[in-house]
Structures are given as C-alpha cells and as structure tokens.
Structure 1
Amino acid sequence: MPEDFTAPPLAPVRVWDRGDPRPVLAVHCSLAHAGAWSGLVERLHGLTLTAMDLPGHGRAPDWDGIADLQDLATRDAIALAEAQGRPVDLFGHSFGATVCLRIALERPDLVRSLVLVEPVLFAAARSHAAFAGFQARHEAVAAAMASNRAEAAALFHADWGNGEALADLPDRQRHYIIDRIHHIAAQSAALVDDRAGLTRPGGLESVAVPVLLIEGSESPAIIEAIQGALAARLPRAIRLIVPGAGHMVPITHPHLIAPAIQAHLDAA
C-alpha cells in the first residue's frame, strides 16, 4: 500500500515501498495526480517509488497563475531528488517527462536513469510535418478556453485522454480536468517555445544516462515526431512503442510497459 506524505517545503508525495530503498522519483502528466502511477508501480520491484503532485494538482497548493509551471515543477522535483541523498531513477509522463528531461540537463548529478513516457516537448518536433496539425489543435483548445472551459477540456481530452469522451468520465474526474484546463495553455512557453532551452544545440547529446522512451502506437502524430527527434539525439536512448495504446499508456497499459521498465532499471 502506498503512503501519502506532505513535508513542507517539499511537494506532497505518495510513496510505494517495493522491496528495496533504491529511489525512483515519478512526475505525472498534467490534469492527473501522484496516484496515476499506482497501476504501474505495483508491477515493479526492487525500488521505492516517490510520486509527487505537480503544482496545482492533487494535494499541492494551487498555481498562482503567474509563475512558470515547468519552473515550479522542476524546482519541486529537484528538491525531492536531493532529499534522497543519492542519484534517482526518474519516471515522467507527458508534461512530467519534460520536467525529468530538464533535470537530467540541469542537474545530471541527481539522475541515474530516465523513463520518459511521451514527453510533450513539442519544440523538439517543430520542423516535422506533424507540427502544423498539432499547432492547429493546440490553438483551438486555447481559443475555446477564452469562452468555454468545458469545451476546451473536451477538445484537449479527445487527443490526450484515455480514449473516453470527457462527458463519459465520472463527475469528480471530469470536473478535476475542467478546473485545471488553464494549465495547458500556460505550458506553451515551456513546451512549444522551449523557454528553458532543452533542445539547445549539444544539450540532449550530453545526457549520459540510459533513457527509455515509451509511446503508444495510437497517440497523436506529434508524439512519434518528438520521440524520433529525442531518440536521434539522446546517446543512450531505447524506444518502446506500445501497440493499441494512446497517450495515457502508463494508466491504460501498465502491464505492457512494466517488464521493459523493470529491465531498464535492472540494467541501469
């Protein structure tokens, strides 16, 4: 069973002891919470996984609407990694995966290995043909957000959700997503414009740790473009494509990715 902790000034976390103190730090996707890792972690062993709540998610304080969300999340994740006292294996999904990649670039001393599930670093695929289609959908969500948050959330969820329509989700989950949909537009500076410079020349090539890149075969086309760009630049990257899965693959298909993640950890 996981244990929940809040230890200010550290972010709220959920911790699973899976038989060994080897530290894993996990960063979830936007519009989720730390518990999103539960289906995956129960299929792993030989580690202790700490999953943080992103700013404005789960039990974390609300976002102030001003500070850069990736800056905040990176700060919180670095503090949690430093508290472990030794290098950690980082798991990240979607926005959370961009945070993990940023830590590997800015604080390589903290990182033992990376598992990046569909990092939404759109800037990495800016030159790809799929970028125009992504940009059109992204701008449609932003436009809807100005007048109808529920419509914006439905558009976003149709591309990046678990395969169900937003209207078919339980009320609590649906309202949780709608209440936080403004976070998505606010991430553009980090994800589309790459404000932190993750794609700078020579940066990704400097990541020396093993990297497992995971994606669903049914995810938006921009994901394949991003993963291809990252795989070409990260020296020790291995790519895993999960048949039939979409963007929420850690939640919908944990049984298919757990063996590859366990092998990745065992070899790191």
Structure 2
Amino acid sequence: MSLRINDVIPTRHELALEGGAVSFLEWKGEGPQPALHFAHANGFNAMTYRHLLSPLATRFHIRAWDARGHGFTSLPADPTTHKNWYVFRDDLIRVVERFAEDAGGPVLLGGHSMGGTTSLMVAAERPDLVRGLVLVDPVMVPRFARLAMQFYRLLGRKGGPMSLADGAERRRAIFSDRATMAGAYKGRGAFRTWPDEMIADYVEGGTKHRNDGQIELACAPAWEAANFRAQGHNVWEALGKLKVPLTLIYAGRDSTCRSPAPQLLGQRDPKATLLRLGQASHFIPMEFPDVIRREILALDARLTT
C-alpha cells in the first residue's frame, strides 16, 4: 500500500523535566498503534521531518522531539559547558519512558545524524524501552577522528576536524521574517537538495519571534557549533552493548557513519538491514524520504512476526 501526506495533523505537547520542558510533536490516529519516536539532527527540529513522518501516521503513533537547545524545548543549553551528547541520551530516555508508558510497551526509535546517535545510546542504555532502531546516517566517526576533534578543542584550534563547528558558529541567526529566511536557504549550502516544503518546515519549527518583530534561530549558532565540538561521548562503547534489532540507512557521499560502523552494527543484529544509498548525501530524509518510510515499515513488520 502506498503512503501519502494525510490529514493527521501533528499536535505539540510538552514534557516537564528539570530546568524546563521538552517540546514534541505527536501524530496519533484512532485505536492502538505501534509507537515510533524520531529524533532530529543537530541544528534541526521535529517539524523539519513532518513530510517524512506524516505519511506514517496511519500506521504508527508517532512522537518527535525538539532536543535540548533546539526548536521549542526550554531546557537549559549552555555552549560553554557542553562536552558530550550524554545529556541528549539522558533527556531522550525520560521522553521514551513516558512514551512507552503511554503506548503500553517499548518504542521503535528512529533518528537522523545526531538523533540517530542519541537513539542508539538510549537503546544501549535502556533496551527495555526500545523495540528496534532505524538509524539514518548516524554520527559514528572513527576513533582517531574523534580524538583529533577532542585535541583541537583542547587547544582551542579552528579548521580541520572543527570545520563544521566553525561554519555553524558563523551562521546568520536573525532574519526579517520566515519567508526571507527560507528564500535565503533555498538551493544553497546544506539546503541545496532539500524540497521547498521541508525548508519551510525547518524554518517554522526552528525559529522564534523577537521583540523587534524579526525572527531568530531557536537553535543558537553557538549551541549548534558546541554540539559538533562536544565529542566526549563514546558511541563505540554503546554499540558494543547494543542488543536490539536495527536498520541502518547511510549515505554514499560524505556519510557521517564511517567504516567500521556499518560492519559492527551488522554484527550486533545478524538480521539487520544495512542500506547504503550511493546517490544520497547526509540529508537522506530530505532526498529519499520514501526509502526511510519503507525501511521503518519493514523493521516494524520484522518485529511483529
């Protein structure tokens, strides 16, 4: 059966945590449905993935969060003290605990880039909460690259492995309105392969109004940059503890899921789907959303039989 954008409109909710609240979008149809949570990439937000997730709303009870420092989530996010992604793991554990309670069972976790890495670490730490994983180009760089990033950070150096962080830090944060912001992104840089509607959703879910009438990125450039630099977590240790069924979809060009990550993920689940999309960049959800939806359905079917 084909899937299409449907009339199930996501609603926004909050979960109170220490220091603030996590904001999340929810798609919920009638009757019992398997639970699916999707976690976004660094600098993005839940609304960015609306066109990816909405067609799945007839099959799944879906929630998608705004991580700390992103979107409408109000948890504190201080870039000067940020050292690793364990804070996202711990936040997401709290979110998934509530979702599993509401849904009456474990949750299928999906995630893109940082969201995939965070979901993997949650599954390693709390397998009781997780039915399975759909990882979309998770950030799993070789150990030597991670050490190089930590070394550069210690020395306060720019460039090299810190180039992404340096670029994020220079991002323009303030625009006159959302239409102007969307127009500035269209066809350029990281947004070059994005459909117009996904750029519009990214802007809608990732901006806040200022007192002077302009709009501003909800994820401050300094926080986005800090996330690139905060590589003190050990995703390889988490991978070694992983015991849940999984699917990996990774990019053929400039992937953040580098060897030996795909091979090691396959060893954790002998039935895993490991799918390399040769024409895809890191922005697979924008370029090949139908493939991601197909693989989410396929993993759910494998877990149901």
TM-score normalised per structure 2: 0.68
- CA RMSD of the aligned region, Å? 3.3
Cα deviation, 1:11-63, whole Å, max 9, x if unaligned, reads 11100125543211111111111112212222324210110001111101252
Runs (5+) with no aligned partner, structure 2: 1-8, 147-157, 173-184, 208-214
3-state SS, counterpart of residue 241 of structure 1: strand
Please tell me whether the aligned partners of residues 161 and 247 of structure 1 are also in contact (alpha carbons under 8 angstroms).
no
Please tell me whether the aligned partners of residues 138 and 256 of structure 2 are also in contact (alpha carbons under 8 angstroms).
no
- Partner of residue 244 from structure 1, selected from 270, 279, 282: 279
Cα distance in 1 for partners of 2:144, 2:55 equals 32
Please tell me whether the aligned partners of residues 162 and 248 of structure 1 are also in contact (alpha carbons under 8 angstroms).
no
Match of 2:89 in 1: 74
Report how far residue 112 of structure 1 moved: 0.7
Cα deviation, 1:43-89, whole Å, max 9, x if unaligned, reads 32421011000111110125222244623322221111111222111
Match of 1:112 in 2: 131
Aligned 1:176-255 pairs, distance under 5 A: 180-188=220-228, 190-191=230-231, 195-200=232-237, 203-217=238-252, 219-225=253-259, 227-236=261-270, 237-255=272-290
Residue range with higher mean Cα deviation, 249-258 or 135-144? 135-144
Please tell me whether the aligned partners of residues 193 and 286 of structure 2 are also in contact (alpha carbons under 8 angstroms).
no
Match of 1:28 in 2: 40
Please tell me whether the aligned partners of residues 125 and 226 of structure 1 are also in contact (alpha carbons under 8 angstroms).
no
Please tell me whether the aligned partners of residues 38 and 63 of structure 2 are also in contact (alpha carbons under 8 angstroms).
yes
3-state SS, counterpart of residue 21 of structure 1: coil
Cα deviation, 1:130-185, whole Å, max 9, x if unaligned, reads xxxxx965323445567x445xxx9xx84x55537xxxx78957986696333344
Match of 1:139 in 2: 162
Structure 1 or 2, whichever has the larger Rg, is 2
Report how far residue 103 of structure 1 moved: 0.6
Match of 2:77 in 1: 63
**1:17 corresponds to 2:28:** yes
Please tell me whether the aligned partners of residues 205 and 235 of structure 1 are also in contact (alpha carbons under 8 angstroms).
no
Residue range with higher mean Cα deviation, 26-35 or 170-179? 170-179
Residue range with higher mean Cα deviation, 118-127 or 88-97? 118-127
Match of 2:181 in 1: none
**Amino acid in the other structure paired with 1:261:** I
Cα distance, 1:21–1:143 mapped onto 2, change above 3 Å: closer
Report how far residue 216 of structure 1 moved: 2.8
Aligned 1:87-98 pairs, distance under 5 A: 87-98=106-117
Cα deviation, 1:224-245, whole Å, max 9, x if unaligned, reads 4364344354334321223432
Runs (5+) with no aligned partner, structure 1: 128-134
Percent same amino acid at aligned positions?
Answer: 24
| Paired residue total | 245
Please tell me whether the aligned partners of residues 52 and 289 of structure 2 are also in contact (alpha carbons under 8 angstroms).
yes
Cα distance in 2 for partners of 1:113, 1:82 equals 15
Please tell me whether the aligned partners of residues 13 and 23 of structure 2 are also in contact (alpha carbons under 8 angstroms).
yes
Please tell me whether the aligned partners of residues 28 and 60 of structure 2 are also in contact (alpha carbons under 8 angstroms).
yes
Report how far residue 98 of structure 1 moved: 0.9
Cα distance, 1:111–1:144 mapped onto 2, change above 3 Å: closer
Match of 2:211 in 1: none
Please tell me whether the aligned partners of residues 140 and 256 of structure 2 are also in contact (alpha carbons under 8 angstroms).
no
Please tell me whether the aligned partners of residues 114 and 212 of structure 1 are also in contact (alpha carbons under 8 angstroms).
yes
Residue range with higher mean Cα deviation, 178-187 or 240-249? 178-187
Report how far residue 221 of structure 1 moved: 4.8
3-state SS, counterpart of residue 257 of structure 2: helix
Report how far residue 109 of structure 1 moved: 1.2
Cα distance, 1:76–1:233 mapped onto 2, change above 3 Å: same
Match of 1:8 in 2: 16
Match of 1:53 in 2: 66
Cα distance, 1:139–1:255 mapped onto 2, change above 3 Å: same
TM-score normalised per structure 1: 0.76
